[in-house]
Amino acid sequence: MDANLKIAEAILEIIGKENIISVTHCATRLRLQVNNRELIDDTAISEIDQVKGVFYTAGQYQIILGTGIVNRVYRALIEKYSFNESTKSEMEKNSSNIIQRAIKNVADIFVPIIPIIGATGLFLGLKGVLLNSVVLKAMGLSNDMIPQWLLTMNTVLADTAFAFLTAFICWSTFKKMGGMPIIGFLIGLMLVSPALPNAYGVASGDAQPILAFGKIALVGYQGSILTALITGAIGATLEKRLRKIMPNSMDLIFTPFLVIAISVVIALFLLGPVVHSFEKGAINIIEIFLKLPLGIGGLLLGFLYPICVMTGMHHVFIMVETSLLATTGFNPLITVCAMYGFSNAAVCLALGLNYRKSSQKTAAISATSTQLLGVSEPALFGVVMRQGTKAIIIMIASSALGGMILSLLKVQANSYGLAVLLSPLMYMYNPYQLVAYLSTGIFIFLLAFILTKFFIKD
């Protein structure tokens, strides 16, 4: 029998075919909507081969299998048995409250943008290394000797994504909300049109806003994440409603015309000035919080972030990080939260080495490897939380301490989307930042590992 089908049948035997309403999966977990959660034996499920843990949240019984294998087990389950093949969004709509759905929808909009921001962060890091005077001196070069074409190439690679970030956000919002993504992309481009005074130039005094009706300041919305998000939501909603009433012969041209015209007018004349001011104030408050004396801001965020991951509230951080990057060029938020990954991996590894059963030991070491590459659920839900309060306290305390240290050292990333082993790439732009981050990460990993080995013997 196929190994994946064997796992699927073992899961089905314990949960019961009649107890399952619908099935879906995400990157690491098989998600089941069940009739009666009390009928399921968690211990028996956890002992199935390849299962790294289970938990129940938002009406879903979730079985952690890990990347790759979850797709194969899901497909084996669907092909062998006639379950309702629900999408993840449908299941979450039926089983989560309005706040959870709102946070998840915002996360779904920003997740597709993460790869380009991550890649841009690497380009910025390489640019920092290339233009670093110490590196150039070691190579017998100086800044004056770098050819203009190479500097231009660096600028194109490192600056383009942030220059047109509003377009990417509008595109992703339209796509998520069922509109035509290309319309959203064009609206986003219009918000940063060269015909409008550049927002950064206006802020620095190098450019003046254009006054409409003698009162309303028209500027570009470079770096205004919230304006792009709300404009995209308005445009996508308007498009769907217009398509219901627009005659077929006029739909192809006049629906996009009206959507673009109305959305851009609302954004430039009504929405933008108010939302942009609010967004700037919110970013200033976050920066002040992160710079609280004695590293208190980093301590609190390092403490709260693992709890947010446990409850699924961590998705909201993505929008804040994007705003920080677009406004300031740096992301201190991911830095103080990043120690969660190091501490979670260390606690998971220490617990795995303590286990006596070979299946548990293998699962924990596998979960550690997954966490080191950036996926935390198998380690968090499958090992650390299952162990109990001591393991959770050590993990959270280590994360909080790491956040405080990095805040005191004024370390900040220039990107997001990279975790643990790959995260140092976000600090390549400056030797001090890289060394400080790496040193803190290694220290937190060793501390969490030693504390776990000392306080949790079996």
C-alpha distances out from residue 290 to 318, 420, 437, Å: 16, 21, 16
Return the sign of the alpha-carbon dihedral for residues 107, 109, 113, 117: negative
Nearest to 203 by CA among 132, 284, 142: 284
Q: Does 26 participate in catalysis according to the annotation?
A: yes
| Given the residues 26, 170, 308, 348, the one annotated as active site | 26
Please tell me the distance from the alpha carbon of residue 297 to that of residue 288, in angstroms, as a whole number. Answer: 9
Q: Catalytic positions, please? A: 26
